[in-house]
Chains A and B, each alone.
Chain A
């Protein structure tokens, strides 16, 4: 009797199939929520800024501050040094204010528009669920305004202030006056000046002396409305001896046009304080032909103001058509520590130019940079970093490692590390490698009975592990899934 060789149910994938699959993987947060929004007309001028300021019921000094930033911004030129290409942005074609319409200001989370709450449920951050189960305090920002902060009362008992920045301007003007734009001056760069002029909301955190924040604080940003830009501003102050871990997540609907996101984040760590800031950025990256997607131009900077303080940035960047982002640390206090852990994944026509700056000013300061870039499709992924050791920063120490993995032969990986050392007691080391997944590694896995898809996932996970390990639990799972969606099996 003739036995037919049974065909495998699933064809054995070759690398091309995998790449195809990865490219076609859909963006799962691309839905649009139909909520009425309260919007400003398109365009940018002084009146719009006055409009925003008025909407937010801001004091006069805040308006002056915004106008000053706007005047300065008008004199500035858009930077062109980054390794990214995009059509010029028409700043007059953007709506600078869009808020989900609500009749009255919600007193509790239960009063928030149910449609909006469903959005957050879809995103996996059901506000009340969060409240009950995970113990993560969430501040959610849709389009331009903060729509709800959970766990506020519990935090207040410890003296921790966690609220939207608009609220902080009203309630804690002395802190805002002292610290807002103290790390990122309004004149710092083109996008930070723009942000200062038109920012509409964001989060504010203050941890009092000696308090260890008992839970992870978290913000979810979402761009929902069409033609809007999102400009949020986050300010975190950790007073002497305190500790806080802060998480940030971002998503946006799928739209054909490009949307602008220009945020500013400022961190201030006083003596003996520690701030840990984690981001999972998953803005809509555009479709497989490179149409649409978010332009993400973000300025993030922290200052280790006091001795023995520490700031740690961790980021997983999988979204956005363009990422332009350099979370930095100014190591001013003696013995302060700065860390930067990053995984940046680009696929299709995404472009990422990201990295960090470590500015050593104090004595015995230490910094560590671990950057992992993964490029696939037609994308370009650049690491751009600066390690600067000033003359007085004696005994400074830096270690940087940037590894790039190329999946496919149409993508690019670039590294631009700047190292400037001005004293002779410091030690700076930098190393970088670029390669594809080793055929021997794949062969080894295959030979142990693992299909190529699983093997690639395993290897990529291993590649990014050093960074993933830095993420808080709540994010680590999501980040690993994201990585799997973006790249599963795109190499053979």
Chain B
């Protein structure tokens, strides 16, 4: 049986088993959208360079939560962190630990009925208006009790960072879903990572929506360093509903096909957002970063820097969109994408895109593709540094621009080490 038929069956089962749920109608709408749009092919502009259709010819199972040991996948500093664990797309309360009292973590279904009902109803599935393809709809079509709602109340600062693990076990299609709400003047640090227990092929189609209210600060970091059988479509949809600050760093080192949708919608004046990304594929890995910065109101600032180092047969895709709507005067929006091709078989497809409807703005984008700076290499070699080390030093420096944007020290050191290992380079 192909996965599309299977998905339909699973959906029908889910709907009949859980028909009384608040989520039922939302799922039905999303499933209709999914059926209409289907799985995007490379004829879909947003999926021009990334083929995911083949996953849906395989027999993936829509995963159920399992109890496994997650010790092997824990990030440094987890002893003092809040940990949210998703196994095969379902939230596992027993594996997770919430250490900060400022942080509320409940199931999305519950949130739709209790004191958070207004917030949850208002903000859930906003990403659908930006991602008009079957993939995003598919996630929403399978929102279950395993979807999470996390909230930080007005004025609260979450004392410990929040680590989110998306773990798959077996040949599964995992569909984790999270909605995070940051109240006025609240602060949170989120680190998200992916891991798989087995070497069987899997696809994680994850959606996280984050709402950032007035004066709130969001620090977000995503780390992807999986084996070549693990594939991801990871959507991070951030809405700045008040004057607020967002810092997002995406580090993609390895995996099969890795697709990130990072959206920032600036719905209020004086919002500020910084998006950083580093992709370093090797083998046959494809890493695709799609970003959207949508400026709706005036006086916003955004800065985007994505850097790629492409090794072996690795492929990099970057598509950065900046929208400046007509009322969004005095917008400053900058974007830069820099790529180094390390092997003759590596390739990169990049498309920095500006769509501007306001005149009093300063917007720019820049993009480069090239090889390592020969003069720099020569300089180091003339000082007696062996070629291999010289290359590693230059690349480490190239990546450093992004690494230094990770605010959490243990995480920064961890990622730095991952990169140094890849470069076979010793950090001084």
Contact = CB atoms under 8 A, between A and B. Distances in A.
A432 B360 contact: no
Interface string B364-388: 1111111100000000000000000
Contacts of B371: 424-425, 427
Interface string B321-365: 000001001000000000101111011111111111111111111
A412 B357 CA distance: 4
The range of chain B's interface size is 20 to 34
A432 B366 contact: yes
Q: Which 10 A-B pairs have the closest CB atoms?
A: A424-B341, A406-B359, A428-B369, A427-B370, A430-B367, A422-B347, A433-B364, A434-B363, A431-B366, A412-B357
B45 interface: yes
Given A420-B347, A423-B341, A429 B354 contact: no
State the majority secondary structure of interface residues on A. strand
A244 B368 CA distance: 33
Nearest to A398: B369
A101 to B, nearest CB: 47
Contacts of A412: 355-357
A409 B350 CA distance: 29
Nearest to A422: B347
Given A408-B359, A436-B361, A431 B346 contact: no
Interface in A398-455: 404, 406-436
A413 B347 CA distance: 29
A424 B353 contact: no
Contact of A428 (B342, B353, B356, B368): B368
Contact of A404 (B341, B347, B356, B367): B356
Contacts of B366: 429-432
Given A428-B369, A432-B354, A432-B366, A407 B359 contact: yes
Nearest to A387: B369
Given A420-B349, A433-B363, A426 B356 contact: no
Nearest to B371: A424
Given A429-B368, A434-B363, A435-B361, A415 B353 contact: yes
Given A434-B356, A434-B361, A416 B367 contact: no
A413 B326 contact: no
B364 A431 contact: yes
A81 interface: yes
A421 B348 contact: yes
B326 A409 contact: yes
Contacts of A429: 366-370
Nearest to A418: B351
A385 to B, nearest CB: 10
B359 A409 contact: yes
24 contacts: A391-B344, A408-B359, A412-B356, A414-B353, A414-B354, A414-B355, A417-B367, A418-B349, A419-B367, A420-B350, A421-B349, A423-B341, A423-B344, A424-B341, A424-B344, A427-B370, A428-B369, A429-B366, A431-B365, A431-B367, A433-B364, A435-B361, A435-B362, A436-B360
B352 A417 contact: yes
Nearest to A436: B359
Contacts of B343: 424
A406 B329 CA distance: 12
Contacts of A434: 354, 356, 361-364
B350 to A, nearest CB: 5
Given A409-B329, A421-B348, A427 B359 contact: no
Given A81-B45, A434-B356, 11 more contacts: A409-B329, A412-B357, A414-B355, A417-B351, A421-B369, A428-B369, A429-B367, A429-B370, A432-B364, A435-B361, A435-B362
Nearest to A415: B354
Nearest to B365: A432
Contacts of A427: 368-371
Nearest to A400: B367
A428 B343 CA distance: 16
B69 to A, nearest CB: 42
A432 B336 CA distance: 10
A424 B346 contact: yes
A415 B364 CA distance: 10
Contacts of A389: 369
A416 B363 contact: no
Contacts of A409: 326, 329, 358-360
Contact of B351 (A419, A421, A433): A419
Nearest to B310: A424
B139 to A, nearest CB: 26
Contacts of B354: 404, 413-415, 432, 434
Contacts of A428: 367-370
A247 to B, nearest CB: 32
A418 B351 CA distance: 5
A391 B45 CA distance: 23
A316 to B, nearest CB: 22
A436 B329 CA distance: 11
Contacts of A424: 341-344, 346, 371
A434 B353 CA distance: 12
Contacts of B355: 412, 414
Contacts of B370: 426-429
A43 to B, nearest CB: 32
A419 B363 contact: no
Nearest to B324: A434
Contacts of B329: 409
Give the interface centre of B350, B365, B369 by most chain A CB atoms within 10 Å: B369
Contacts of B341: 421, 423-424
A408 B366 CA distance: 25
A432 B349 CA distance: 17
Nearest to A397: B370
A432 B365 CA distance: 5
Nearest to A391: B344
A420 B348 contact: yes
A128 B358 CA distance: 48
Nearest to B321: A416
A390 to B, nearest CB: 10
A427 B341 CA distance: 10
A435 B363 CA distance: 7
B45 to A, nearest CB: 7
A431 B354 CA distance: 11
B347 A421 contact: yes
Interface in A121-140: none
A492 to B, nearest CB: 11
A404 B359 CA distance: 10
A99 to B, nearest CB: 41
Given A419-B350, A424-B342, A434-B363, A413 B356 contact: yes
A432 B367 CA distance: 9
Contacts of B362: 433-435
B352 A430 contact: yes
B288 to A, nearest CB: 13
B313 to A, nearest CB: 11
A404 B341 CA distance: 30
Contacts of A433: 362-364
Contacts of B349: 418-421
A410 B351 contact: no
B356 A406 contact: yes
Contacts of A419: 348-351, 367, 369
Nearest to B316: A421
Contacts of B45: 81
A391 B352 CA distance: 22
A75 to B, nearest CB: 17
A407 B349 CA distance: 32
Given A408-B359, A409-B326, A424-B341, A432 B352 contact: yes
Interface string A370-411: 000000000000000000010100000000000010111111
A414 B358 CA distance: 11
Nearest to A386: B351
A391 B348 CA distance: 12
Contacts of A423: 341, 344, 347
